[in-house]
Structure 1
Amino acid sequence: MVVLGVDACKKGWVAVELTDGAFAGARFSHGLRTLLDATPQADVVAVDMPLGLVEEGWRQADEKAKAVLGPRRNSVFRVPPRRVWLEADYETAGLRCRELTNTGLSRQTWGLAAKLDEAGECLEGEEDRMFEVHPEVSFWALNGKTPLPHRKTSWAGQMQRRALLRTGGVVLPDDLGEAGQASPDDVLDAAAAAWSAHRIAQGRAIALPDPPQLDHRRRQIAIRY
């Protein structure tokens, strides 16, 4: 059973591949489609990027994830409705967001636009194997459903996350080849996504929310772990 966990990083996308739950390789690409095309054998591809958008209000997936993460809740962005992302610039998107949610739009959230669009385009034709995950939710699950005490960018946080992956059967080598150009926290996030991908492939994953919301095309909106 081959799965892929993918995380967006500064220069593109980084992926960790597992075979039967064990590390099988890591990849880096400037484009998500390139990663998908390079791994046609992957039964599940779990991506740390919103793959479904609501029409108004906020996604239940993000609210549920925030609720379980407690002190780490800020690692989850509240993803605005679909029509916000159709706007051409931050100012008009902000106005649309306030119209649909009664809340403004942060520049940090708007910064997801390009990667979110890219992931949405890649989802076409890949619905059977492509799922949304959130690494911090995966680490929460690996940690006995307890929020981690340290930020993922801290030394203590990275050591704890690598150790949790190891207990989950995902042992990351020191040399990741080209994928090693990604920042350590992005690699760890991709590995956590891969761990969740393996659970999805096994039919053991849990969805937030359960049952999932549906987007305007009746596709499920959920974060799985």
Structure 2
Amino acid sequence: MRPYRQSSVFPTLCREAIYAKNYEIACDINEEVTGKRLTKQTWGIVPKIREMNDFLIATDSAKEKIIEIHPEICFWALAGKPMEYSKKESEGFSERKKLLQEICTSTDEIVQNALSKYRRKDVARDDILDALVASVTAKLSFQRGLKSIPKIPEKDSQGLPMQIVYPTFRRCLE
């Protein structure tokens, strides 16, 4: 049995930090508000977080329709357990792909198409599976619904729900 992996879900940052001019300032702001500094990985996706945040604030009709998932939580929910391998390892890629193949029959075609269409420097292999599990989660939401972390989400100062959603356990889908 492999030793337990480090967390694949990194902490979210506070709203104030997404508007910081640079990583160091964002870390300081986030630490002051949440008690935690940011990872470089988190800072790397801040422009997209900021873009979505601005859109949701400006578009009332989207606030309840666009929901947030985390790929690793979705994989866990669909498998009924955490993934054994890191998504960056070939075993982790295979593990996630196999799980998706059981739910989405066109997984191989989707993955091969994306791998041939995009350069690895633009789209990593594991990002393709992350996008696919998000899509599968959206589809399953219409069939079986979703669960939320936390169970009853609060809303932030902008009226946005503070939650991560995931599909019901796979054994419930069969």
User: If the length of structure 2 is used for normalisation, what is the TM-score?
Assistant: 0.77
1:165 aligns with one of 73, 93, 100: 100
2:82 aligns with one of 138, 147, 152: 147
Partner residue, 2:154: 213
Partner residue, 1:10: none
More strand by share: 1
| Pairing 1:176–2:113 present | yes
Q: Tell me the alpha carbon deviations over residues 67-120 of structure 1, each in whole angstroms, 9 at most, x when there is no partner.
A: xxx945522121121112222222222222222123333333222221111222
Partner residue, 1:192: 133
The 2-side partners of 1:179 and 1:82 are apart by 37
The 1-side partners of 2:5 and 2:106 are apart by 24
The 1-side partners of 2:157 and 2:147 are apart by 23
| Pairing 1:133–2:69 present | yes
Partner residue, 1:156: 91
Change (3 A) 1:133 1:159: same
More helix by share: 2
Q: Which amino acid aligns with 1:191?
A: L
Unaligned runs of 5+ in 1: 1-69
Total equivalences in the alignment: 155
For residues 98-109 of structure 1, the aligned pairs below 5 Å read 98-109=31-42
Change (3 A) 1:134 1:204: same
8 Å contact from structure 1 (residues 72, 148) kept in 2: no
The alignment-based identity, stated in percent, is: 30
2:82 match: secondary structure:
coil
Change (3 A) 1:105 1:187: closer
Q: Tell me the alpha carbon deviations over residues 164-204 of structure 1, each in whole angstroms, 9 at most, x when there is no partner.
A: 11212343115426874132211111111111111223351
Partner residue, 2:170: none
Unaligned runs of 5+ in 2: 167-174
8 Å contact from structure 2 (residues 76, 83) kept in 1: yes
Partner residue, 2:19: 86
2:38 match: secondary structure:
coil
Query: With CA pairs under 8 Å and 6+ residues apart, which has the higher RCO, 1 or 2?
Result: 1
